[in-house]
A and B are shown apart, each in its own frame.
Chain A
Amino acid sequence: MTIQEQQEDIVSDFEYLGNWDDKYEYIIQLGKELPLIEDKYKTDDNLIRGCQSRVWLHVDYIDGKLEFTADSDAVITKGLISLVIKVLSGHTPKEIAEAEITFIDAIGLSSHLSPTRSNGLLSMVKQIKLYAVGYMAKSVQQ
């Protein structure tokens, strides 16, 4: 599935969820279910500091694709992170660098990407993009 298809998939999932309770319960469930990151990667180096909640992000470069794992101490942030990872992980650096994250807005949670929210999600998306650009530059050098 392409990044765009993956996003459309999530948006249509959310369309079935009527009110805010259902949406949040789904996100919370995602946050709880996914063991996103191995403890050894929950290091200070991998820590993205939001003002309110902390996010850890780890990247592996496997067969030309970037695989991300992440975690957060806040479960709603963690649920959203798992969606972002579902969308972006497993793609080439170029695809990730060029991707536009539209689904968070489309499911009505755009405030999570507001810089004033400082919950780490925006910083995480930025960091993923930075990794992608970094690996693109590396592969050009090679």
Chain B
Amino acid sequence: MTISGTRQLDIAKIRKDFPILEQTVFGHPLVYLDNAATTQKPVSVLKAMDDYYTTINSNVHRGVHHLSQLATDAYEDGRRKVAEYINARHTHEVIFTRGTTEAINLVAASFGKKFLKEGDCILVSGMEHHSNIVPWQLVAEERGAQLKVIPIDDNGELVLDGLDRLLEGVKLVAFNYVSNALGTINPVATIIAAAHGQGIPVLLDAAQAVQHMEVDVQQLDVDFLAFSSHKLYGPTGFGILYGKEEWLNQLPPYQGGGEMIKTVSFEKTTYNDLPYKFEAGTPDMAGSVGLGAAIDYVRELGIQNIQRAERELMEYALGVLGDIDGLRLIGRTDASRRAGVVSFLVGNIHPFDLGELLDKQGIAVRTGHHCAQPVMDRYCIPGTVRASMAVYTSGEDIDRLAAGIRKAAKMLG
């Protein structure tokens, strides 16, 4: 399927932007298929961060001096790029965090403190990453609230039949756009509309979405959205919480410290405006610069072009892997509702054994429960082997994976 108005990407040329790919592992050229865990970084990101430290590093928003102003401009430029990338109405709706996990914890803690009472419910889905389960459990326990779960079916899709009833008593819905364990693209619009129909805000974990498809927060009308820089070709330890202004203004601060205050006395502290209210302490300036450069890189390639290339590759991968004897795909078997991730098992082979023999052939995959144990429990499996793609993943990578699986299966068979 061709996505209209897109152009073909030159994958061989793109791969040259990622020097880490040009290495051998155990004597084999590296096949990196663990992109859902973290993507590699293009030279432009590395250079931008290097330049930041080499030429303008200084603390932001504080100094009267020249470098501090340049550092502040660079830091805020990153925020503007993020806001544009997700089409936020206001730049100050973009809060910098350490990653998706911290972004979700921020909302769980602050929203919970303000809005959750005993007997209230938080609704999550059965295919969440632990990062979108545990923060809610922590706050639910503290406030005497409960967690409810949208079930999943055998195809790895959310069961929405009873959604309206599930939404009763719910104060917030939190679920992922794309499942990190299965690759399923969830029916985001339907769930958001149902929640809003009952006046319930929605937090979307977009950690596995923003690198694969266009995410427009205004079009989605989502209330909170979280993602990580390092899965979007940017640096590690940096992430984004988007929140609608009206929601963020209602939430109390998450952490206290410098930057997030207006005035401090021992009697009373007044908090800073958005976004600084949620950014206590010296922030990660180089992180913002790096993520900004990563977004520039993605926008230059065009996210729609990336989506098209990855969908074609997904179709190819599903075909090639589907031909392997005994290989069982977990989740949907068509590319149209799947992004980035192929999760599978082969015969009765333990995923760990398969992963290890792939590693010896220079093929990097993830094995295990992918921090989504409830998903594995749903399928009564100990885990899966997960191959995950990025824009630089080639058809040859998929061929090497398939050959590697065949060899491993033969050795283990």
Using a CB–CB cutoff of 8 Å, the interface residues on chain A facing chain B are 20-21, 24-25, 28, 51-54, 73-77, 119
Q: A20-B360, A52-B383 are in contact. Are A76 and B368 (CB under 8 A)?
A: no
Is A77 a contact partner of B357 (Cβ separation < 8 A)?
A: no
13 contacts between A and B (CB under 8 A): A20-B360, A24-B360, A28-B411, A28-B412, A52-B352, A52-B382, A53-B352, A53-B382, A74-B353, A75-B353, A76-B353, A76-B356, A77-B353
Is B26 a contact partner of A20 (Cβ separation < 8 A)?
A: yes
Contact of B100 with A by CB under 8 A: no
Q: Bound complex: CA of A51 vs CA of B352, how far in Å?
A: 10
Is A74 a contact partner of B352 (Cβ separation < 8 A)?
A: yes
Is B411 a contact partner of A73 (Cβ separation < 8 A)?
A: no
Which residues from A are CB-within-8-Å of B353?
A: 28, 74-77
Contact of B350 with A by CB under 8 A: yes
What 1/0 mask marks residues of chain B from 4 to 48 whose CB sits below 8 Å from any chain A CB? 000000000000000000000010000000000000000000000
Beyond the given pairs A28-B411, A76-B352, A77-B353, 6 more chain A to chain B contacts, judged by CB atoms under 8 angstroms and listed by A's residue number, are: A28-B412, A52-B352, A75-B350, A75-B412, A76-B353, A119-B352
Using a CB–CB cutoff of 8 Å, the interface residues on chain B facing chain A are 26, 349-353, 356-357, 360, 367-368, 382-383, 411-412
Is B350 a contact partner of A25 (Cβ separation < 8 A)?
A: no
Is A52 a contact partner of B368 (Cβ separation < 8 A)?
A: yes
Q: Bound complex: CA of A11 vs CA of B382, how far in Å?
A: 32
Q: A52-B368, A52-B383 are in contact. Are A74 and B350 (CB under 8 A)?
A: yes
Is A73 a contact partner of B382 (Cβ separation < 8 A)?
A: yes
Is A53 a contact partner of B411 (Cβ separation < 8 A)?
A: no
Chain B: minimal CB distance from A41 (Å) = 20
Which residues from B are CB-within-8-Å of A53?
A: 350, 352, 382
Is A21 a contact partner of B411 (Cβ separation < 8 A)?
A: yes
Which residues from A are CB-within-8-Å of B349?
A: 75
Q: Which residue of B lies closest to A118 (CB)?
A: B368
Which residues from A are CB-within-8-Å of B350?
A: 53, 73-75
Is B411 a contact partner of A77 (Cβ separation < 8 A)?
A: no
Q: Bound complex: CA of A51 vs CA of B130, how far in Å?
A: 14
Which residues from B are CB-within-8-Å of A21?
A: 411
Which residues from B are CB-within-8-Å of A24?
A: 357, 360, 411
Q: Bound complex: CA of A73 vs CA of B368, how far in Å?
A: 13
Which residues from A are CB-within-8-Å of B360?
A: 20, 24
Chain B: minimal CB distance from A140 (Å) = 39
Which residues from B are CB-within-8-Å of A52?
A: 351-352, 367-368, 382-383
Q: Which residue of A lies closest to B355 (CB)?
A: A52
Q: Which 6 A-B pairs have the closest CB atoms?
A: A74-B350, A74-B352, A52-B352, A53-B352, A52-B368, A76-B353
Q: Which residue of B lies closest to A119 (CB)?
A: B352
Q: Which residue of A lies closest to B350 (CB)?
A: A74
Which residues from A are CB-within-8-Å of B351?
A: 52
Q: Which residue of A lies closest to B351 (CB)?
A: A52
Q: Bound complex: CA of A28 vs CA of B412, how far in Å?
A: 7
Chain B: minimal CB distance from A71 (Å) = 12
Q: Bound complex: CA of A25 vs CA of B357, how far in Å?
A: 10
Chain B: minimal CB distance from A72 (Å) = 8
